[in-house]
Amino acid sequence: NELMNGINARYELRKSSAKRFIEGRQAAVIVAGKEVGFVGELHPIVLKNFSLEMPCAAFEVKLKEIVV
């Protein structure tokens, strides 16, 4: 939220179903009707694959798609 507010980007979150995240704990980031990123809590299999012991969240936003 702070990142998007800092660059004055109006955004919305929509339901997503990427396998790297836990079902129901993830969303696609939408700006001007276009998917520009994602946010979510990593799936336990992903945590195991990276030897992470604690739950983690991750996000990605394609700033080139937003900032002019």
The amino acid that residue 18 corresponds to is A
Q: State residue 8's pLDDT score.
A: 87
How do residues 2-12 score in pLDDT, each as one tens digit?
889 888 889 99
Q: What is the pLDDT of residue 59?
A: 94
User: Is residue 12 within 8 Å of residue 30, measured between CB atoms?
Assistant: yes
CA distance 33 to 50: 33
Looking at residue 52, what DSSP letter applies? -
Query: pTM here?
Result: 0.85
Instruction: Encode pLDDT of 33-66 as tens digits.
Output: 999 999 999 999 999 999 999 999 999 999 998 8
